[in-house]
Amino acid sequence: MKKTALVFLALCLGFPVLAERFVPRSDLIPKVLEVVHQGYVDQNRVQPMKMLEGALEHLSSLVAPVMTQVTTKGGLVSIEIKVDQHSKTIETQAPKTVKDLNKILQEVSYFVKLNLEKGAKPEEVDYALINGFLRRLDPHTMLLVPEVYSDFSTSTTGNFGGVGMMIGLRKGDLTVIAPIDGTPASRAGLRAKDRIVQIDDESTINMPLTDAVDKLRGEIGTQVVIYIERDGLSAPKKVVLTRDLIKITSVESHVFEENGKRVGYIQLKTFQKNTIEELNEALDEMDYDLKSFRGVILDLRNNPGGLLAQAIQVSDRFLNKGVIVSTAGLDAASIQTYKAHWFSDMTETPLIVLINSGSASASEIVAAALKKNQRAVVMGTQSFGKGSVQQVIPLPDGSALKITTQKYLTPGNLSIQSVGVSPHIEVDPYYVSEDFVRVTPQAADGNEDSLEENFKEWGDKDQAEAPEQRAYYLYQEELKKLGTEEEEEPAETKEAKLEQLKKDFLVQSSLQILLKNEKNDFAGLLKEGHRYMTQEEKEQEKKLTAKFGEFKTDWSVVETKGAPKLEALSWVELKKGEAWEKWAGPVPAKSQVRLYLSVKNQGAAVSRLIATSKSKNPVFDNRQFAFGSLKSGESKSWFVPAEIGEGAISRNDKVVFEFTDASEKELASYHSALAIAENIPPTFAYRLSFKDQGPDTKGNGNGLAEPGETLAVEVEVTNQSTGTSGPLTLLLKNGEGERVFLKKGRLSLPALKSGESGKASFLLEYKSKPLDGNLDFSFDLLDGTYPLASVNEKLKLSLDAKDYQVSNQLPSFTLENFSNTSGQKKVRIKGQVSDLDGVKDVYAYVENKKVYYQNFMDLKEQKKVEFSFEVDLGEDNNRVILLSRDQANVAGQKTLYIRYEAAK
């Protein structure tokens, strides 16, 4: 391809005209479309016009300077495309086949690539178009771009060449989370919390986690050198690691022992190529054939699935007869059924399977097979509900197509699609604390059924089995206060994981059921499970009633006659100093509030009365207010605390309170509204100056960057708004690999008041000259309190530039007559964008759909430009995101919320 391009260019240079950029035809789009046409599970979903709309919408959303608009009339379609200041209209017949669709997308792809800004990656245009039309098929069919496909392949094969340690970012430092036993990292003595400061010749300061992983992985037998900092060491320690085959473990196990009796615990984290081998190893280590062995707990909670073949083999390991699963593809009549084999020796060992809403796909196949064949007692909560099978097809450019080719059916030829597997015994956690209450099963809002374009029509919902028993337990662990951002350290050591298992109510309940069980058959185990959970629920009832007693709430169940008549009222209290004051207006950002709900019962007595809030504002959504028993004429109030962040954005949200009683019967609902008023955010001006002389530098002072020098990058930041910023973090990221070594690339500045400035300096070693004559960096100015005020700018330090400096500030927005509420379905948003160096463009999204793009490069005056566009409002609150880029492609952003209020 490169030789062809050179010949073409040489020919063009023979004429006295400017050569147009060479844009090759996309080979990827037709390949993907052909696979969809030949192998997609449901050809009725392959609707070219709908796919075209999805492709164009996704392209507009992902590529900043692109805006598309589609109109149809009769059998014709008109497509308007804007790329920066370039525009084109494509008028053609509406596509009826994938061949028609390919023809249109080729023309779109060509025009967009032809006019892309310098430095943009043309392949990303095709990726966006392809994933756009695939999203209109179902939520699981997608193009995996090369980087994602590489990680996906590693996760499914279960091994790779590496050093064997889990790493993560802790307070900005690349940190060892846990070395894996028996690997080079473990043998070298690396420990959890070791900080990796250098990999080979490259500093890890501000190195993206994915880059660090790539640098540590490699061919087996090759070496990588790292330097670590550890508490107690006076200097970084050099560690040489020889890469080895690292296996990703999908199985973790433990044996519980109590009074001479033993129970095995096996957690399947995913289904990858070696899962069945790992499972067999775990079972062998448990000595499951000894008399003292009382059963197995198979934990599938939060297992997202994986390989179908592994799910079949895992199921087969515990079965000796019966259907495991059936699959059906394009031809629904061509069902392939997988049955258990007779030679399994685990068919009489008592088995309990644990599932929850995070158990999906392959996990659901196993859970359903063991449940339907009456091999295991299933406990937990309803599973995810993914009943489709995907095939991954590698593509020539290193990407891969993940495409839905089959649906699977559980024993009895039932689909759990968008339904899930229900447990025999449903067990839900309840929470009662000063900060948070949850005394009903959690709604499965994020399950398969909530995904767009899911195969809801497949699910056999009318034949879904309800749990035989419902139980709950009072979660006793101290809850973190809502709104805290501190990351919880994951339990990675064996000791920490065992401590978690000892506190896990479902694991411990399953353990006791197996220890107390005297029968080896399914019926006996299920009976013991019901008996134990019935007894345990009585204990949990006592705990729950006692806990509510601490809040002077009667949680007993009383006999009721007739219906209650509820009158409700809500209000907000704001913390002022140490006192709480009733607050009538918008709640200011950076405040502690209490949302009160008071209810008076004017009807028959009611017990276990609760109200659950519904709101688009996550701070006030899905919060519960517990009132307990209310006799006729009685009233009671309950509040939920909340913290409104300092960087909260102005909004006005409807809050609906839905009342239910002990029978979970919906009694009434009450509507209110809650407004938040934002603080004035900071606006930053900044200057970066590269210096080869001064403190900690090593240079000749001629103002030029030269190999062998240690350079300082002085940063000055000024807050130009009337508001106060949060504490600032400054990052300088290296784009030159081993040619530059960052010695100091992460800086902090205190919060800046209006007009205040702060200074700090990065430090770097310039080692060798880049081929293009430029040193590439990325500068980030991060305000964690006001993230929309943060800055990212790509820097190119020309080696010919003397005393190189960069100064800039974000484009700023001014709105005209804006309101957070509207009684009209259509709203016009208008205003101005200002930037000292000139505004390049302005664009806007409603939710995730781009609705406006305007390029201003042709204007003579670009320092202040005007924008205006209409928005069609959906029900309730609508999020509008405004963005603007300046001449250096630095983007400013403003988020608006508009709630539609229908006239009453």
Residues serving a catalytic function are: 361, 386
- The token pair at 281 is 């190893």
Is the CB of residue 661 less than 8 Å from the CB of residue 476?
Answer: no
Helix (H) or strand (E) holding 133: helix 123-135
Give the H/E segment covering residue 808.
Answer: strand 805-809
Q: Is 215 exposed, middle or buried (0-12, 13-18, 19+ CB in 10 A)?
A: middle
Encoding tokens for residue 788?
């929309």
* Beta strands in 99-214, from DSSP E residues, in sequence order: 142-144, 159-162, 165-170, 173-179, 195-199, 202-203
Phi, psi dihedrals of residue 224, rounded to the nearest 5°: -135, 140
* CA-based radius of gyration for the chain: 31
**Helix-helix angle 98-114:28-39, to 10 degrees:** 160
Closest CA to 430 of 273, 624, 567, 636: 624
Structure tokens at 383: 């599973």
- What's the one-letter identity of residue 497? K
Pairing of strands 351-355, 293-299: parallel
Q: In the structure encoding, which two tokens stand for residue 282, read together?
A: 């775990």
Report the distance separating Cα 734 and Cα 797, nearest Å: 12
How far apart, in whole angstroms, are the C-alpha atoms of residue 130 and residue 51?
9
Structural contact between residues 350 and 295, judged by C-beta atoms closer than 8 angstroms: yes
Q: Do residues 532 and 509 touch, judged by C-beta distance below 8 A?
A: yes
Strand partners, 488: none
Q: Are 371 and 414 in contact (CB under 8 A)?
A: no
Name residue, tokens 């019962």: 601
Please report where in the chains the tokens 């000749």 appear, as a residue.
700
Cα 576 to Cα 356, 590, 594, distances in angstroms: 42, 12, 12
